[in-house]
C-alpha cells in the first residue's frame, strides 16, 4: 500500500488514502516519487475543465527513483533517478511521423487504463498517464526519462511540465528572437519558466502581467524587466512600456478569454501571441474581420510548449547547470499530499508560484 491523492469524481474533493499498486508488468516501471509539482492542469482535471476517467490519481509533473522494472525495460534500472513524462509519443501516428510529437494522437491512451486499486478494491486510473500525486507509481517505460546529470532530483520534478512548457513556448512556439520584447501573462509555475526562458532567448524588454501585485519580486527574479498588475488598461500599459507599439511577442499562461484577448491587444502590428493556458469551452474569444486584416497579428495555440522531452531536456539541463535557469526559485511552497487542496485554492485565487509536493 502507498499513500496517494485520489480524485473520486470530477468536482469532488481529493481524498488522501492508501492505494494498492501492482508490480510492474512487461514494459513498465515502478517509481518512488521524490517530488511532484502542483500544476494548473491538475486543477483543470479536478474541476472538469479537462476530462479524465475517474476515480484517478492526479499529478503529472514529477521525479523519483526507479524501484523495479518489468520485462523488456533496458533504458532505466532500479536506483536510477527519473523524470516523469506525462505525454510520451507513440512514434507511429501522423503527428509523430512529421515530427510534431507534442501532438501525438496516442499520448494519453494510458490515462484510460486501470493501473492500481483503492484499499477497498475499486479500479483507479492514472491521471495524465503518470499519477504523480502518490508515494509510488507504476508507469509505461516511455513515461520515464533519466534525470540529467547535475540536476538535483527534487528540482528535476519541474522539468516534467512547467519548464518544458515555458521553455518550449518561448523557443519553439513563439520563437522569440534576441532583442525582441515579450509580455507574459500569468506568473505561476509555467509563467515563471516562460520569463526565465525569455531572458535566455535574449529578449530586451520582458513584461510580466498578473492579477496579484505581490508577485512582482518573484517575476523580476525570473527575468521580468517590467511588471503590470492586470486591469482593463493592461494593453495600454504594455504599449507604454514598449515604445508605444506593443510587444513583439505575448505569451498567455492563464487560459481565460479576457487574458487571451488582452495578450493579443498588447502586441504590436504584426506581433505574435502564443496561448499556453488551458481554458474551458465556455471561454469564447472574439475578433472582428477588419482587425484581423489591419493588425496582421498571429495567434497560435501551444501544447506542452511544442516540446520533445527527449530532445529538449538535455538543452534545458545545460541552461540549469550554467546558472541561466533557476529551478529552485520557481518553488514558492513545499507541501505534503495533504497540502494539495490548499495549493489548488491558491491557484484559483491567483496566489503563489509553484507548490511542490515533497515526499
Residue 321 inside a domain? The answer is no
Higher pLDDT, 347 or 294: 294
Residue 312 inside a domain? The answer is no
**pLDDT tens digits along 144-193:** 999 999 999 999 999 999 999 999 999 999 999 999 999 999 999 999 99
Q: Check whether residue 6 and residue 144 sit in a common domain.
A: yes
Q: Check whether residue 6 and residue 155 sit in a common domain.
A: yes
Residue 313 inside a domain? The answer is no
Q: Check whether residue 143 and residue 19 sit in a common domain.
A: yes
Q: Check whether residue 218 and residue 342 sit in a common domain.
A: no
Residue 197 sits in which domain range?
Answer: 166-304
Residue 233 inside a domain? The answer is yes
Q: What is the pLDDT of residue 306?
A: 96
Q: Check whether residue 148 and residue 173 sit in a common domain.
A: no
Residue 128 inside a domain? The answer is yes
Nearest to 85 by CA among 112, 117, 108, 55: 108
Percent of the chain with pLDDT strictly greater than 70: 100
Q: Check whether residue 300 and residue 338 sit in a common domain.
A: no
Count of structural domains, the chain: 2
Lowest mean pLDDT: which of 131-145, 220-234, 279-293?
279-293
Q: What is the pLDDT of residue 270?
A: 98
**pLDDT tens digits along 53-63:** 999 999 999 99
pLDDT of residue 27 exceeding 80, the answer is yes
Q: What is the pLDDT of residue 165?
A: 97
Q: What is the pLDDT of residue 225?
A: 98
Q: Check whether residue 188 and residue 297 sit in a common domain.
A: yes
Q: Check whether residue 202 and residue 103 sit in a common domain.
A: no
Mean pLDDT score across all residues of the chain: 95
- The CATH number linked to 124 is 3.90.180.10
Q: Check whether residue 130 and residue 209 sit in a common domain.
A: no
Q: Check whether residue 141 and residue 118 sit in a common domain.
A: yes
Q: Check whether residue 202 and residue 72 sit in a common domain.
A: no
Nearest to 188 by CA among 357, 26, 350: 350
pLDDT of residue 48 exceeding 90, the answer is no
- The CATH number linked to 247 is 3.40.50.720
Residue 309 inside a domain? The answer is no
Residue 319 inside a domain? The answer is no
Confidence of residue 118 (pLDDT cuts 50, 70, 90): very high
Residue 311 inside a domain? The answer is no
Q: Check whether residue 287 and residue 196 sit in a common domain.
A: yes
Amino acid at each position: 500500500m502507498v499513500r496517494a491523492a485520489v480524485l473520486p469524481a470530477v468536482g469532488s474533493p481529493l481524498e488522501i488514502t492508501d492505494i494498492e499498486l501492482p508490480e510492474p508488468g512487461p514494459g513498465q516501471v515502478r517509481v518512488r516519487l521524490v517530488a511532484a509539482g502542483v500544476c494548473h492542469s491538475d486543477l483543470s482535471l479536478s474541476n472538469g475543465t479537462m476530462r479524465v476517467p475517474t476515480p484517478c490519481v492526479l499529478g503529472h509533473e514529477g521525479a523519483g527513483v526507479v524501484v523495479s522494472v518489468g520485462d523488456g525495460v533496458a533504458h532505466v534500472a532500479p536506483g536510477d533517478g527519473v523524470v516523469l513524462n506525462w505525454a510520451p509519443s507513440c512514434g507511429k501516428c501522423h503527428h509523430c511521423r512529421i515530427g510534431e510529437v507534442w501532438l501525438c494522437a496516442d499520448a494519453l491512451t494510458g490515462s484510460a487504463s486501470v493501473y492500481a486499486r483503492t484499499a477497498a478494491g475499486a479500479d483507479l486510473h492514472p491521471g495524465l498517464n503518470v499519477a504523480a500525486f502518490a508515494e509510488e507509481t507504476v508507469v509505461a517505460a516511455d513515461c520515464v526519462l533519466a534525470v540529467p546529470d547535475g540536476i538535483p532530483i527534487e528540482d528535476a520534478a519541474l522539468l516534467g511540465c512547467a519548464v518544458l512548457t515555458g521553455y518550449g513556448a518561448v523557443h519553439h512556439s513563439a520563437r522569440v528572437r534576441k532583442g525582441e520584447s515579450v509580455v507574459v501573462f500569468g506568473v505561476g509555475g509555467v509563467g515563471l519558466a516562460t520569463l526565465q526562458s525569455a531572458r535566455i532567448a535574449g529578449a530586451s524588454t520582458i513584461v510580466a502581467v498578473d492579477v496579484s501585485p505581490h508577485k512582482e519580486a518573484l517575476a523580476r527574479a525570473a527575468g521580468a524587466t517590467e511588471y503590470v498588475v492586470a486591469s482593463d488598461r493592461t494593453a495600454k500599459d504594455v504599449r507604454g512600456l514598449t515604445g508605444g507599439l506593443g510587444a513583439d511577442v505575448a505569451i498567455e499562461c492563464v487560459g481565460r478569454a479576457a487574458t487571451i484577448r488582452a495578450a493579443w491587444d498588447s502586441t504590436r502590428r504584426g506581433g505574435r501571441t502564443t496561448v499556453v493556458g488551458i481554458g474551458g469551452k465556455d471561454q469564447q474569444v472574439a475578433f472582428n474581420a477588419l482587425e484581423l486584416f489591419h493588425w496582421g497579428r498571429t495567434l497560435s495555440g501551444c501544447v506542452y510548449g511544442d516540446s520533445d522531452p527527449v530532445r529538449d531536456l538535455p538543452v534545458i539541463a545545460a541552461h540549469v547547470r550554467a546558472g541561466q535557469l533557476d529551478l529552485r526559485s520557481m518553488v514558492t511552497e513545499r507541501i505534503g499530499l495533504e497540502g494539495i487542496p490548499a495549493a489548488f485554492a491558491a491557484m484559483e485565487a491567483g496566489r503563489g508560484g509553484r507548490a511542490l509536493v515533497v515526499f
